[in-house]
Structure 1
Amino acid sequence: MKSHSQPIKLFLVVAFSCTSLLASLTPVLAKPTLGSSSSDRGAKTNLAQGTIFNQPSLPPGSPPGGRLRGGAKRGGECEVSKLDLTALVHSTEGANSVLNVWGQTTVERPSWYFYVPYTKDLPYEVEFVLKEDADSNDSNDSNEIYHKAIALPEKPGIIRVSLPSTAPPLALDKQYRWFFLINCDKQKKYPPTFVEGVIQRVELNPAAVKELQTTELLRRYTIYAQNGIWYDALTALAQLRQKNPKDAALQAEWQNLLGSIRLDDIAAEPIVSEKP
């Protein structure tokens, strides 16, 4: 990427090289089912019972690989924190205990959520990068479609990064690789701490699409979760929590959703930013 330092560029090249060598492990999962349309009362009943996220199988081809958590220290420069940088994304374990960090969306410009343990008073450089996913080991930046410098929050917590209207929309059935990087080393002698994964835009069946157009946000969250659409389900639930910060049922559902993907330690952390 033309605006990045050489160490970051070399680091991303190595990351792509490593993910191309991963072996595939496709989990056996129950087929997602779509419930019938419900009233507000029915949606709340489903929420109280705990909505189940039906994690989809990995896409065909090379496994996506990725990195769910970033290390707390790099080169002795980062502040020590109780929790690492973490992407709020589901993952599956592949061959040799390697994680595959991969999820689906139905929208052209989705949102990502990250737990960031550092605050704006620290002089760390933070970047979000989105690339067209390709089995390429060269340093060419031609497949980068979005790059943004990210401001650290006022306090540790979960932040939102959204693809803006000025960026190219995600194409259907195409995979994109994202990176969230924190460079704590002013001299940039060490690689940044980072998380990485793959996102793919898909279409839901016509019945689900029709219901999504006419139902409330709470029910939309349930539909996305039942159909394995991680990014849209998480965004819908995050928006509900922001609108109803004292709702105990929504807080419990947030903990249930993140707990289902083994991010229990992040579930109690506050959402500190809803800005793109």
Structure 2
Amino acid sequence: MRVDQFNYLFKIKSLFTFFALTIFATSYWCNQTQAQTSTRLKVIFTPPAENKPQTTIKGATRNNGQCLEQTENVAVPFTPLLPITNQGLTIAAHPTLLFYLPKTSAQKVFFSWHDEDSESYYQTVISLNGKSGIISLTFPKKSPPLEIGKTYKWSLAIMCNNRLQSDNPMVQGKIKRVKLESILGQSLKDANSLESAVLYGKAGIWHETITTLAQSVVAQPEDKNLAQTWKELLTSVGLEEVAQVPLVKSTSSTESEN
């Protein structure tokens, strides 16, 4: 065989090998991408053993219609985003609560909480600034921090006509601060936002579970997988109606006036 024929055949063989490897690599990459796309992390909330279902106070406790507007043919009441036990754990000294707030003419809400002995602990008036939808409320930083191991009862009342009255729409719940276990803390260090929500859910820490997931949904509003994960989490704890309500883009802490 002549040298030029040998070189020609060698080039053809090399080119064929290159294309074969390219096709294999492309096929492998596509399969891996599809596998990653089809994999969706689910946030499953596992209630702690101490939080057995009890009689709950869902939505507004009194006169839900006063100064609240009924819209979109579905009247979802003033609702705290809590499990059916109406209580949740947190690891934060100043945690964040989430609520569904219908459109209202009220401009302020009255927020208060106290310890298990019903002693007055803290109260404040907070401006709504025209907000409605799923909103967040963070315990004011200047308020005393929640103590680890203590359970607190909180209440949030809508101040119709800027007055606090016995028939104001109101929701209530309980919250307990627990210590962040070292094993969970180590896992959270390398976790992204969604993975953190998964870890909090498995540990039964409700408030960090839902607020962390909410932040992910707000940050990526076009992500259908996140939206589905959000709906599944709320539905799993008895919040089917609220699960259909979109998260407002401006989910953030409200500011205390005091």
Q: TM-score, normalized by length of structure 2?
A: 0.73
What residue number does 2:103 align with? 118
State the alpha-carbon separation in 1 of the partners of residues 202 and 178 from structure 2: 14
Cα offset, 1:253, TM superposition: 0.5
Cα offset, 1:195, TM superposition: 0.7
Query: Alignment partner for residue 129 of structure 1, among 90, 94, 112?
Result: 112
Q: TM-score, normalized by length of structure 1?
A: 0.68
Cα offset, 1:124, TM superposition: 5.1
State the alpha-carbon separation in 1 of the partners of residues 170 and 164 from structure 2: 14
**Pair 1:193–1:123, CA change in 2 (3 A):** closer
What residue number does 2:25 align with? none
What residue number does 2:121 align with? 144
Summarize the alignment of residues 139-178 of structure 1 with structure 2, pairs less than 5 Å apart. 143-151=120-128, 153-154=130-131, 156-178=132-154
What residue number does 1:67 align with? 57
Aligned-pair Cα RMSD in Å: 2.8
Structure 1 residue runs of 5 or longer lacking an equivalent are 1-40, 93-100, 137-141
Contact 1:54-1:226 within 8 A present in 2 as well: yes
State the alpha-carbon separation in 2 of the partners of residues 102 and 200 from structure 1: 8
Contact 1:72-1:79 within 8 A present in 2 as well: no
* 1:275 to 2:252 alignment: yes
Task: Please give the secondary structure, in 2, of the residue aligned with 1:104.
Answer: strand
What residue number does 2:228 align with? 252
Greater CA drift, 187-196 or 205-214: 187-196
Partner letter of residue 82 of structure 2?
V
Percent of pairs with identical residues: 28
Contact 1:85-1:114 within 8 A present in 2 as well: yes
- Superposed CA deviations along residues 99-127 of structure 1, whole A, max 9, x for unmatched, are xx1110111111000000124xx145422
What residue number does 1:21 align with? none
- Superposed CA deviations along residues 116-157 of structure 1, whole A, max 9, x for unmatched, are 0124xx1454222122232x4xxxxx5222423231534x31
More helix per residue: 2
Partner letter of residue 92 of structure 2?
V
* 1:86 to 2:79 alignment: yes
Partner letter of residue 242 of structure 1?
V
What residue number does 1:194 align with? 170
Cα offset, 1:262, TM superposition: 1.2
State the alpha-carbon separation in 1 of the partners of residues 165 and 91 from structure 2: 39
Cα offset, 1:218, TM superposition: 1.5
Cα offset, 1:190, TM superposition: 4.8
* 1:51 to 2:43 alignment: yes
- Structure of higher CA gyration radius: 2
Cα offset, 1:77, TM superposition: 3.7
Contact 2:69-2:103 within 8 A present in 1 as well: no
Greater CA drift, 226-235 or 265-274: 265-274
- Superposed CA deviations along residues 167-192 of structure 1, whole A, max 9, x for unmatched, are 21111010111111113366766521
What residue number does 2:210 align with? 234
Contact 2:42-2:198 within 8 A present in 1 as well: no
Cα offset, 1:233, TM superposition: 0.4
State the alpha-carbon separation in 2 of the partners of residues 65 and 130 from structure 1: 20
Partner letter of residue 173 of structure 1?
G
Query: Alignment partner for residue 186 of structure 2, among 197, 207, 210?
Result: 210
Partner letter of residue 109 of structure 1?
H
Partner letter of residue 67 of structure 2?
C
State the alpha-carbon separation in 2 of the partners of residues 47 and 257 from structure 1: 17
**Pair 1:78–1:202, CA change in 2 (3 A):** same
